[in-house]
Structure 1
Amino acid sequence: MDQNHWKSPLPCDVYNLGLVPFADAWTLQKSLVQRHGHSPQPDRLLLVEHPGVYTLGLGSTLDYLKLPAEDLPYPLFRTERGGEVTHHCPGQLVGYPILNLKRHRPDLHWYLRQLEAVLILTLAEFGLRAGRQSGLTGVWVGDRKLAAIGIKVSRWITMHGFALNVCPDLGGFGAIVPCGISDKAVGSLAQFCPGITVEAVLPVVVNSFAQVFELNPVIQNAAPLGL
């Protein structure tokens, strides 16, 4: 048997940062990505909730805002990720993997499908049969979208990531056409599992992420330098 077949999984530092303003988490991501240009870095997974905010993808249109930007109930940021407008708020678990895909597979399509697999596996742990919709990115239960994905990859280092609606107030989505999809509803895990909390889901996401990406999660008790 090839000895390499039994190599230990690569470590991945996991940070549960709690409630963090979007701008702060965005700055932290960019700082961690930049470190990869200077010295070897571990894979990292940042897990956060955000106060209410809307974000746009790099090339996304304002046509999917139902109100003028200045009249939205929460701040609006244009980012470098792909995809259209989305909403973040407390009760939604957001994951920002900072991975070097050269250690995994340098393939954007593969990476997107892997993130979807993490969320499908997570929801299965709570008894939900989640899946994909043809031609769309994200994870669905029936026609309800429970998780959105939007990424940026530069020199095969990833940033941005996924947002899983655990138990959020979905009202903020009413001011936008989420991800530009007008004919399907946004949903949450709490609609199927009343009383579910982010605290209950977070370790399941970590385990699912580790399983799908074949990583060894190393839980960090302090935030990365810069937050």
Structure 2
Amino acid sequence: MIRSGLLLQLDTVEYGEAWELQKALLEARISDTTGDCLILLQHPPTFTYGRRYKEDDLIANREYYENNGFSIYKTDRGGLATYHGPGQAVGYSIMKMSTYTNDYYQYLRMLEDVIIRTLSCFGIVAERNEGYTGVWVNKAKIGFVGVRVALGYTMHGFSLNVNNDLTPFNFITPCGIQGVRITSIQELLNESISVKEVYDKLANLYSDVFQVRLIPVEMKTLMQGIGLAGNYVRV
């Protein structure tokens, strides 16, 4: 394994702040002032939707969501509507894609493979569902993938339901799939698993799938490395 990248592990970060962090790291990666980076974090309750968003994917209007404590963001990633919340592990991969694959769809499959292998560590047999992006267990969706590629560099990434409340998925049409069932590690095992334990598994298996040695880095050090002061996001 001769490649190396950075690993930034955070706790809960507001979605908009995390998005701005991704943009800053993407710009730095394109200008080659930083290396490839995997960010692992959680978000407060947030609905997001991608470029292929359809109005029907949000069951109510923005005011309804905001009045019930949810943030909502239209993003520049692929995919449709999804939910992020505490207890869900989220991974954002900022990288030069051609270092690992020249095939966009192969890149998606690699992210799915990270999730599938992680679930296997907990004795959960997961699989892909032909025709859909993401990861499934017994026809219920547990892992989500949505990315953006700009000038050959990636941002956004994946999410994995660990201990999060699944009820908010009822307020959207997840990934635009009518009637889809959503599950989590906690629901499948009937026990609570530490999100940070899942972080460790995800990081190790991301390293295996992409054949990259991940070097843990602190936020302040990372920001100073690309010429930005402070922590950049509130953590």
TM range (shorter): over 0.9
- The aligned length equals 220
SS of 2:158 mapped into structure 1: strand
Task: Give the CA RMSD over aligned residues.
Answer: 1.2
Aligned to 1:32: 25
Aligned to 2:174: 178
Tell me if 1:48 matches 2:44.
no
Deviation at 1:40, TM superposition (A): 4.6
Return structure 1 stretches of 4+ with deviation > 6 angstroms: none
Tell me if 1:85 matches 2:78.
no
The correspondence of residues 1-227 of structure 1 with structure 2, limited to 5 A, is 8-72=1-65, 73=68, 74-193=70-189, 194-223=191-220, 224-225=222-223, 226-227=232-233
Q: In 2, distance between residues paired with 1:102 and 1:143?
A: 32
Kindly indicate whether the alpha-carbon contact (under 8 Å) linking 2:174 and 2:180 is maintained by their aligned counterparts in 1: no
Q: In 1, distance between residues paired with 2:72 and 2:2?
A: 39
State which drifts further: 177-186 or 155-164.
177-186
Kindly indicate whether the alpha-carbon contact (under 8 Å) linking 2:29 and 2:95 is maintained by their aligned counterparts in 1: no
Q: In 1, distance between residues paired with 2:160 and 2:2?
A: 25
Deviation at 1:84, TM superposition (A): 0.5
Q: In 2, distance between residues paired with 1:46 and 1:213?
A: 15
Kindly indicate whether the alpha-carbon contact (under 8 Å) linking 2:29 and 2:36 is maintained by their aligned counterparts in 1: no
Q: In 1, distance between residues paired with 2:187 and 2:23?
A: 34
Deviation at 1:174, TM superposition (A): 1.4
User: Unmatched 5+ residue regions in structure 1?
Assistant: 1-7
Q: In 2, distance between residues paired with 1:188 and 1:93?
A: 11
Aligned to 1:4: none
Kindly indicate whether the alpha-carbon contact (under 8 Å) linking 2:30 and 2:153 is maintained by their aligned counterparts in 1: no
State which drifts further: 215-224 or 121-130.
215-224
State which drifts further: 145-154 or 8-17.
8-17
Q: In 2, distance between residues paired with 1:180 and 1:212?
A: 28
Q: In 2, distance between residues paired with 1:26 and 1:192?
A: 30
Q: What one-letter code is carried by the residue in structure 2 that aligns with 1:165?
A: N
TM-score, normalization: structure 1?
A: 0.93
Deviations 1:22-57 (A, max 9, x none): 000000001111113323531100001000011010
Q: In percent, how many aligned pairs have the same letter?
A: 35
